[in-house]
Chain A
Amino acid sequence: AQKITQTQPGMFVQEKEAVTLDCTYDTSDQSYGLFWYKQPSSGEMIFLIYQGSYDEQNATEGRYSLNFQKARKSANLVISASQLGDSAMYFCAMRESSNLRSSASKIIFGSGTRLSIRP
Chain B
Amino acid sequence: NAGVTQTPKFQVLKTGQSMTLQCAQDMNHEYMSWYRQDPGMGLRLIHYSVGAGITDQGEVPNGYNVSRSTTEDFPLRLLSAAPSQTSVYFCASSYGVSTAEAFFGQGTRLTVV
Contacts and interface: CB of A to CB of B under 8 A. Distances in A.
For this complex, into which size category does the number of interface residues on chain B fall? 20 to 34
Contacts of A31: 98
A43 B106 contact: yes
Contacts of B56: 103, 106
Contacts of A47: 101-103
Interface of B: 31, 33, 35, 40-45, 48, 50-51, 56, 58-59, 88, 90, 92, 94, 96-99, 101-104, 106-107
Interface residues of A, number: 27
Nearest to B56: A103
A106 B33 contact: yes
Contacts of B90: 45
A119 B40 CA distance: 24
B45 A106 contact: yes
Contacts of B50: 100-101, 105
Contacts of B40: 9
* Most B C-beta atoms less than 10 A away, residue of A6, A44, A45, A52: A45
